Structures are given as structure tokens and as C-alpha cells.
Amino acid sequence: DTGVSQDPRHKITKRGQNVTFRCDPISEHNRLYWYRQTLGQGPEFLTYFQNEAQLEKSRLLSDRFSAERPKGSFSTLEIQRTEQGDSAMYLCASSMNQGVKGFFGQGTRLTVV
Amino acid sequence: GENVEQHPSTLSVQEGDSAVIKCTYSDSASNYFPWYKQELGKRPQLIIDIRSNVGEKKDQRIAVTLNKTAKHFSLHITETQPEDSAVYFCAASISNTGKLIFGQGTTLQVKP
């Protein structure tokens, strides 16, 4: 186990509902990344944090998406007014400082029906 | 913008043969190139990586080569085994952000 933990593992929600996912990084890692992976595609970068600061957001992250890392430890990713196109695997990864050797969590699979 | 192209999209080989997957990146500032293996329904697992100051790296049956001038890097798997069957992703990153830009993936099938 790499130590990055994500919760829940699976989420089924109705279109229009809000959902929130949680990621707990490896404890000494100060960088935390969110990616989205749709079927048959590579993971796509969404956003990343260094400690509690959100340093970059992809244009994929519409205004319905918000991510936080309030104390520089765990992070949450919220999707408001979910759409069917939001159905995907949401992956979290963490790393140390300038290091880029990212370790992925097991992901949260979101299905919007 | 940042982009990583990966080829082929599918690759089928006989057990024992070699497999080669190639990637091209666009951002000349990229300096870290990992390869991930992903089995169905599971997380991407880092299998090997290379930094821009190195041209080649090998770990048992897996090797990665990097041509910075051409912005190409490749994964080589020798003596393939059925358990090597999976989707393989290349990625490129700039170390000051650690953000990974992934290729589209290669589905490798190793036939017994």
C-alpha cells in the first residue's frame, strides 16, 4: 500500500446532486494533486496544493469544482450540480517538496446517473 | 500547451518477446519522465522513471530511454510475461510543480 488514502471508493449520485471526495496523502508529503481519469484515457491534471496553498488549477476545473486543503494535510474535492460528464475516476497523488515521484491513491469512482 | 503523445495505443506480443512503447513531449522544460502500469480498476503504479540528466535507466526487464533533443522517451520490456498485460502510461513533468501530463495509454497484451 502506497499510503495515499481516498474515500469513498465508489460513489453513485443523481444528476444535479453535490458530491465531496476526500484524500489523505502520505503524512510527510506536502504536495497533493488531483487528477481525473475517464475510461480509456490517461489521468488528466485538475489541481495541486503545496501545503494548504492551491498553486495551480486546470481549465478542466470548472466553477462547479472546488478543492481545499485547509490544514495542509487531507484534501477535499467537491463537485456541485453533478453532470453525467463528471462520471470518472478521481485520483489523488502526493509527493515531497520538489520531488515529483507521485504516489496515487486507489481513486474514487464517480457515476452520475 | 503541454502535451504528451503516446504510441501505439494497443500492442500485442507473444510471451518472451520484447515490447516497446514510445512517447513524445512538447514542453522542453520537462525534466522528469515516469511510466505507470495500470491494471483494470486499479490505481496507476509507478514502474520506472527517468530524469532529464540521464539517457537510459534499467530495472530488471524494464528499461527507459530518453532523447532530450528529440523530446522522445521510450519504455522497453524484455522477456514479456502474461502478467505484464496492462495499460501503460507515460508522463512528463516539470519538477518545480510536480504536475504530471500523461500520454493516452498503451494497452499491452502478452499472449501465452
On whether any CB of chain A is under 8 Å from the CB of B105, the answer is: yes
Burial class (CB in 10 A: 0-12, 13-18, 19+), B45: middle
pLDDT over threshold 70, residue B16: yes
Rounded Cα distance, B41 and B39, in Å: 6
Q: What is the pLDDT of residue B67?
A: 95
pLDDT tens-digit series, residues B61-104: 999 999 999 999 999 999 999 999 999 999 999 767 888 999 99
Quick one: pLDDT band at residue B56, thresholds 50, 70, 90?
very high
Q: What is the pLDDT of residue A99?
A: 57
On whether any CB of chain A is under 8 Å from the CB of B33, the answer is: no
Closest CA to A3 of A80, A86, A73: A73
> Running along chain A, 113 residues long, what does each successive block of 10 average in pLDDT?
86 98 92 94 94 91 93 94 96 78 88 97
User: Percentage of chain B with pLDDT > 70?
Assistant: 98
Chain B nearest-CA distance from A18, in A, is 24
On whether any CB of chain A is under 8 Å from the CB of B57, the answer is: no
Closest CA to B100 of A94, A90, A50, A53: A94
Cell of B30: 520537462
Of B95, B100, B105, the CB nearest to A98: B95
CB atoms A42 and B89 under 8 Å: yes
Rounded Cα distance, A12 and A51, in Å: 30
Closest CA to A56 of B92, B25, B100, B31: B100
Mean pLDDT, residues B6-24: 98
CB atoms B43 and A33 under 8 Å: no
